Amino acid sequence: MSAPTNQPTPPIVAPPAAAAQAEQDPRERSAVGEAWAEIVHGSPSWLTSLALHMVVVILLALWSLPSLPELSKNLLLSEPSTEDENLDDFEEINLDQAELESEPVEFELQPEIEELAEEVSLSTFEDLTAAPTFTELSDVGLTPAAPSIPNDALGFSGVGTTGRGKMSLAAIAKAGGSAESEEAIENALRWIAEHQNPDGSWTLVHTAGPCQGRCPNPSNRGAAESLRAGTGLALLPFLGAGQTHKDGKYKRVVNRGLEAMARLAKNEDQGASWRDPGGAGAYSHGISAIALSEAYGMTGDSVLGSLAQAAVDHIIASQGADGGWRYRPRDPLGDTSVVGWQVMALKSAYLAHLQVPPVTVAGASQFLNTVARANGTEYTYLASDNATSPTRSSIGLLCRMYLGWNRENESLREGALKIAAVGPSENNYYYNYYASQVLFQYTGGKGAVWRKWNTDLREQLISQQATTGHAKGSWYVDGQHNDSGGRLYMTSLATMTLEVYYRYMPIYQADAVDKGFPE
């Protein structure tokens, strides 16, 4: 075997830790180097080669890795904003006013009748955003009502739309209602709902729908001649009880009724009309306009606002030269009965912030002057008449209050006492409906005059309501014009009369008068 050849000793590469220590202390560095040299020289050659190769591989790997991101800079630091922050842009959250998922249980006045309503397509009203006010649809009106006080230079004052629905039984009893009268309203609303036509409308010939003749005493007018009057009259008791197409057990019934009202509109040169064929068209239009305005005022639904304004525009355009309304548009001679429905519609529209021009309001007051008798305490049917009646006087006095008479007006006081002295009628529900509103608004639902009237009429209506069979919850008694209106007409009037406690706000109280509202 030949002697091994002398080869140079490979350079010694110190581990990183040793190198770091050597940089810190030269003496430690020489000592470590000597120790490391001993280890290398004393180790087998294959071990030394393995160690060197491992070091080379590690160095190559470190050299080829990409540089790591500066995590501390990216995650912990943020660049300053170049824009000024506006704290007003952020919505403040008030935890005290946060709405919780659980809601307080309310006393419900109406029975559940969800099973009565057919499944219908998504409402054209449901998804619309309510407008806070309504001013863009017509250039006829000049001054909508103020949102807080229902009175301004137009001369309108009195009845508001904020007193409807969902009062406690104790509050209703305080105003003059009772558990029995509320039960009568519940049964009435159920009966009206059960007699809705499949297309959502009602007709005064109620037997043409699901009733199938089980309830007697329909209107003696044709079904097609009373669609608009029937639909408007049927909707008003639901609205009077606080039921709308957005809220309440009857919202499907009301929604379908309002959709039917929209389909029944007829375009006119100005606005739209809901006039039924025949001489009663002015009545059906006024009733429909009230229903649309009330529904809009309660919900703010912009589609309903458009329809209601169109109905009001037609009333404005139909006013006669004497300031009144009658069977035909612009009839030169108005009558008190037709005028009553139109003035109620204008009042409801005004309170819903629709546009009603002052000249129309002034014209209505001018007409009432022509039919006023006995210093404004009584009213006739036509300006040429001298015969007054409790019904006509009730209509005239209610319109006077709508148009600005306050409770201190001596003619109003005397006229209201005359009505109270006559007392309720056994069969004239039209008179009872108007007279109840006059006395409730005049007395504010307080005092001996109101208690006497209310108790007598409330108990009479409860006793006259049908309590058995398919007619349960409805009303019909023989009387003048009752056969023309029929059972649906009488049921609607009776229900609205029983709803007087929460249908309208009693604004003729001392504090309201003392504020000196302008007339």
138 pLDDT higher than 60:
no
478 pLDDT higher than 80:
yes
CATH number reported for the structural domain that contains residue 322 in this entry:
1.50.10.20
Residue 254 pLDDT: 97
Q: What is the mean pLDDT of residues 10-38?
A: 46
User: Which comes out higher in pLDDT, residue 404 or 123?
Assistant: 404
Cα–Cα distance measured from residue 292 to residue 273, given in angstroms and rounded to the nearest whole number:
12
pLDDT tens-place string over residues 351-389:
889 999 999 999 999 999 999 999 999 999 999 999 999
Q: What is the mean pLDDT of residues 436-459?
A: 94
Q: Which token pair is 135?
A: 């001013």
With b for 16 or more beta-carbon neighbours within 10 A and e for fewer, the 486-515 pattern comes to bbbbbbbbbbbbbbbbbbbbbbbeeebeee
* DSSP-assigned letter for residue 136: S
Residue 74's pLDDT band (boundaries 50, 70, 90)?
Answer: very low
Cα–Cα distance measured from residue 399 to residue 461, given in angstroms and rounded to the nearest whole number:
25
Q: Which token pair is 156?
A: 């309108």
513 pLDDT higher than 50:
no
Cα–Cα distance measured from residue 113 to residue 184, given in angstroms and rounded to the nearest whole number:
16
User: Which comes out higher in pLDDT, residue 210 or 266?
Assistant: 266
Residue 237 pLDDT: 94
183 pLDDT higher than 80:
yes
In a domain, 259, yes or no: yes
Residue 200's pLDDT band (boundaries 50, 70, 90)?
Answer: very high
59 pLDDT higher than 50:
yes
In a domain, 392, yes or no: yes
Q: What is the DSSP string of 304-328?
A: HHHHHHHHHHHHHHH--TTS---SS
- Of the candidates 244, 240, 261, 263, the one whose C-alpha atom is nearest the C-alpha of residue 253 is 244
Work out the percent of the chain whose per-residue pLDDT is above 70: 65
In a domain, 322, yes or no: yes
> Between 179-194 and 227-240, two packed helices, what is the crossing angle to 10 degrees?
150
The Cβ of residue 54 has, within 10 Å, a number of other Cβ atoms equal to 10
The Cβ of residue 333 has, within 10 Å, a number of other Cβ atoms equal to 15
Cα–Cα distance measured from residue 240 to residue 165, given in angstroms and rounded to the nearest whole number:
7
pLDDT tens-place string over residues 253-311:
999 999 999 999 999 989 999 999 988 999 999 999 999 999 999 899 999 999 999 99
Q: Which token pair is 274?
A: 């809901």
In a domain, 209, yes or no: yes
Query: Do residues 237 and 492 touch, judged by C-beta distance below 8 A?
Result: yes
Cα–Cα distance measured from residue 301 to residue 247, given in angstroms and rounded to the nearest whole number:
13
Cα–Cα distance measured from residue 341 to residue 325, given in angstroms and rounded to the nearest whole number:
10
Poorest-pLDDT segment among 18-22, 40-44, 99-103, 174-178? 99-103
Cα–Cα distance measured from residue 8 to residue 145, given in angstroms and rounded to the nearest whole number:
110
**Which range marks the domain in which residue 186 is found?**
151-511
In a domain, 124, yes or no: no
* DSSP-assigned letter for residue 33: H
Cα–Cα distance measured from residue 248 to residue 260, given in angstroms and rounded to the nearest whole number:
19
69 pLDDT higher than 70:
no
In a domain, 113, yes or no: no
pLDDT tens-place string over residues 454-469:
999 999 999 999 999 9
Residue 89's pLDDT band (boundaries 50, 70, 90)?
Answer: very low
pTM, full prediction: 0.70
473: phi > 0 → left, psi -120 to 50 → alpha, else beta; which? Answer: left
- Give the per-residue SS3 of 106-118: CCCCCCCCHHHCC
CA torsion through residues 214, 229, 165, 502, sign: negative
- Of the candidates 196, 190, 144, 125, the one whose C-alpha atom is nearest the C-alpha of residue 352 is 144
Q: What is the mean pLDDT of residues 96-118?
A: 34
pLDDT tens-place string over residues 240-254:
888 999 999 999 999
Residue 476 pLDDT: 98
How many folded domains does the chain comprise? 1
Contact residues for 346 (Cβ-Cβ < 8 A; gap 6+): 312, 315, 356, 360, 361, 364
Helix, strand or coil, per DSSP, at residue 135: coil
Q: Which token pair is 166?
A: 């969902």
394 pLDDT higher than 50:
yes
36: phi > 0 → left, psi -120 to 50 → alpha, else beta; which? Answer: alpha
In a domain, 118, yes or no: no
127 pLDDT higher than 50:
no
Residue 6 pLDDT: 44
100 pLDDT higher than 70:
no
Most confident of 85-94, 208-217, 415-424: 415-424
User: Which comes out higher in pLDDT, residue 81 or 47?
Assistant: 47
Cα–Cα distance measured from residue 346 to residue 325, given in angstroms and rounded to the nearest whole number:
13
Cα–Cα distance measured from residue 93 to residue 505, given in angstroms and rounded to the nearest whole number:
34
81 pLDDT higher than 50:
no
48 pLDDT higher than 90:
no
In a domain, 414, yes or no: yes
Q: What is the mean pLDDT of residues 90-95?
A: 32
- Of the candidates 395, 275, 386, the one whose C-alpha atom is nearest the C-alpha of residue 324 is 395
- Of the candidates 449, 448, 443, the one whose C-alpha atom is nearest the C-alpha of residue 506 is 443
Residue 31's pLDDT band (boundaries 50, 70, 90)?
Answer: low
pLDDT tens-place string over residues 139-181:
333 333 433 333 333 444 443 343 444 567 777 888 889 999 9
Element (H, E) at 378: strand 378-379
User: Which comes out higher in pLDDT, residue 115 or 176?
Assistant: 176
Element (H, E) at 266: strand 266-267
Contact residues for 493 (Cβ-Cβ < 8 A; gap 6+): 233, 429, 430, 432, 433
Cα–Cα distance measured from residue 470 to residue 472, given in angstroms and rounded to the nearest whole number:
5
